[in-house]
Amino acid sequence: MTFKDQIVKIKRRKYPEKFAEITTKPHMLQLLPYLLYSIYKGTGYRKNLLRSFRINRIPLYSTTSEQLVSPPVIELIINSERKDFRNLSEVITYAITNSVNPVGKTTVAVPYSQLSECREVLSGISNKYGIEVLSEDLFLTDSIREKLRSTFGKRYGWALQQFLTIDRVLKSDYKGVLQVNSDTILLRPTQWLDSEGRQPILVSTEYHRPYYVFLHNLNMEFPVLTDSHITHHMLFQPQVFRDILHKSNVKSLEKLVDFTVTNAQIYENSPFCVEFELYALGALRYFPEKITLAKFGNINHPRRPHVNSIEFQSELQELAKKYNSISAHSYL
């Protein structure tokens, strides 16, 4: 293959997709054509390329036979809304069936006006998996909602989802809470938590500096230059999260909201991440013995409207040979 042919191939297939494959660890021979292409694309492309290459060389998460004994029962939580309902049945089904940890409880929180629609969407699997669809109004206080609404305006829903997750985690009676974004399908079996409280935290390439500046201001022990953990799903240990908040001098969820509305750089489109990144940085700082960093292995993969359920299931089976998960974002 000529260099020109390689460039054409690279233009058609972005490097994150290639490097994210779990079947092989990316190596220098794979990197070289993209590095040459970066001469044309510029320093920003090259910086992201090298970051992606390094992070995707992190090993996959694996468990020992001892860890597989009596895995703790966990809770599955999802926050959703109408734009993601089309894949919601697959999101829940794959999360439950691919969890080595038994899932003792599954709840989906949606806007009150969409309760009936969501229950209808999930009617085919609700009884099988014991899914409860709840109004998101059951979580968070009116005071918290008003603070978020008045501060973030059009980004209110984006901010609300993060605090919904934290509230649901902190109130859980389970040792582990698996939160999955309602557009993300987990394709491969994973043990999220072992009996000793050890868990994986996945590493992403999506570094966004304002997140880490914000968290550093919350807790000076959190680094600004660090790896990203924006992975569209995460296992949270409620007690670990409570301890992280305590060590960050945040005594309650409302205090975290107060800090956020006061310190977030609202001119940024995405000024903070207080669920995934706060938990990940806190767990790595204060509970490193419980954490194993692991390869994310995810790609963005839109579900085409004309693909029927059987075809989609077949497509997911093929994708599972190369990736841990896919995120079918509504904007793709």
What's the Cα-to-Cα distance from 39 to each of 53, 55, 65, rounded to whole Å?
A: 17, 22, 47
> 235 — phi, psi (to 5°)?
-90, 120
- What CATH number is attached to the domain comprising 240? 3.90.550.10
pLDDT at site 12:
47
288 falls within a domain: yes
Give residue 328's Cα distance to chain centre.
13
Residues 174 and 230 occupy one common structural domain: yes
pLDDT at site 304:
65
Residues 149 and 291 occupy one common structural domain: yes
194 falls within a domain: yes
Residues 78 and 48 occupy one common structural domain: no
Residues 148 and 11 occupy one common structural domain: no
Residues 82 and 212 occupy one common structural domain: yes
Residues 158 and 245 occupy one common structural domain: yes
* Structural domain total, the chain: 2
Instruction: Give residue 10's domain range.
Output: 3-55
How far is 56 from 22, CA to CA, in rounded Å?
9
pLDDT per residue, tens digit, the chain (332 aa), is 554 555 445 454 567 778 899 988 898 888 888 888 888 889 998 999 999 999 999 999 987 766 777 899 999 999 999 999 999 999 999 999 999 999 999 999 999 999 999 999 999 999 999 999 999 999 999 999 999 999 999 999 999 999 999 999 999 999 999 999 999 999 999 999 999 999 999 999 989 999 999 999 999 999 999 999 999 999 999 999 999 999 999 989 999 999 999 999 988 889 999 999 999 999 999 999 999 999 999 999 876 666 677 888 899 999 999 999 999 865 44
303 falls within a domain: no
Residues 188 and 223 occupy one common structural domain: yes
What's the Cα-to-Cα distance from 204 to each of 68, 158, 281, rounded to whole Å?
A: 26, 20, 13
Q: Are residues 319 and 18 in contact, defined by beta-carbon separation less than 8 angstroms? A: no
Residues 161 and 259 occupy one common structural domain: yes
Residues 14 and 161 occupy one common structural domain: no
pLDDT at site 303:
67
Listed in sequence order, the residues at least 6 apart from 91 whose beta carbon sits closer than 8 Å to its beta carbon are 78, 84, 180, 182, 183, 184, 185
pLDDT at site 13:
54
How far is 212 from 226, CA to CA, in rounded Å?
8
Residues 41 and 90 occupy one common structural domain: no
Residues 130 and 266 occupy one common structural domain: yes
Residues 83 and 164 occupy one common structural domain: yes
